[in-house]
Amino acid sequence: MIEPMTKITQHLPPSPNSYRAQQIVMAGLLAAMIFAVLGLFVLALLIPAPLIGLMSLFMAFLTAPVAMLLSISPPLIIDEDGLTIAPFWGAPQRIAWDEIVAMQPYPLLPQPEQETEWRIMRGRKRYRAAEGYMLIIPRLPMRYRVAGFFAGVRGKPLIAFTNRAHSDYDTLLQRVQAHISS
């Protein structure tokens, strides 16, 4: 018997404790980097040293990948009307299916030939190549735009869902494709 599509499915990280730890560490690292940027900038003003000012600018650019890790693959809750993005930091956001502009393969995943160590750790039978898609959603806030720069979509806000970041990935993919294509 085919199950109706009216059910709600949650697609959380496979390891919630690991996800929680990653989010806390990344938020702490981002805060430390922002304080370092400000400290280097103030130091560059106090001591006439232009290289310290350049270090401040360089460190400011390095905050972007850390900021991306805080928002790229949040837990998702899917129902008939849309999806809910439930990030670790911040309030959940409800997205209707018609607000999703595009669904594209996520280009920032490692290729199978780059995952030698991962394949060895998982074992040949349990290894599965990284798979994922990104959803471009224009109304998402600024923090989701960082990933758009790295993914090559000119800073458009996006989220990604992958088989490494979400449990029951195959069901998630089927449900999203069913609503995006209709």
Predicted confidence (pLDDT) per residue in 63-98, tens digit: 999 999 999 999 999 998 899 999 998 899 999 999
Task: Please indicate, yes or no, if residue 2 is contained in any of the structural domains.
Answer: no
4 phi and psi, to 5 degrees?
-70, 150
Supply the pLDDT for residue 130.
Answer: 85
Give the pLDDT confidence of 130-181 residue by residue, as tens digits.
Answer: 899 999 999 999 989 999 999 989 989 999 999 988 988 999 999 899 888 6
Average confidence (pLDDT) over 119-131 = 81
> What is the C-alpha separation between 101 and 123, in angstroms, rounded?
38
Supply the pLDDT for residue 117.
Answer: 83
Query: Could you list the residue range(s) of the whole structural domain that residue 20 is in?
Result: 7-182
Average confidence (pLDDT) over 29-44 = 95
pLDDT of residue 182 exceeding 60: no
Confidence of residue 49 (pLDDT cuts 50, 70, 90): confident
Lowest-pLDDT range of 43-52, 110-119, 143-152: 110-119
Indicate the number of domains in the chain: 1
Task: Please indicate, yes or no, if residue 53 is contained in any of the structural domains.
Answer: yes
Supply the pLDDT for residue 1.
Answer: 44
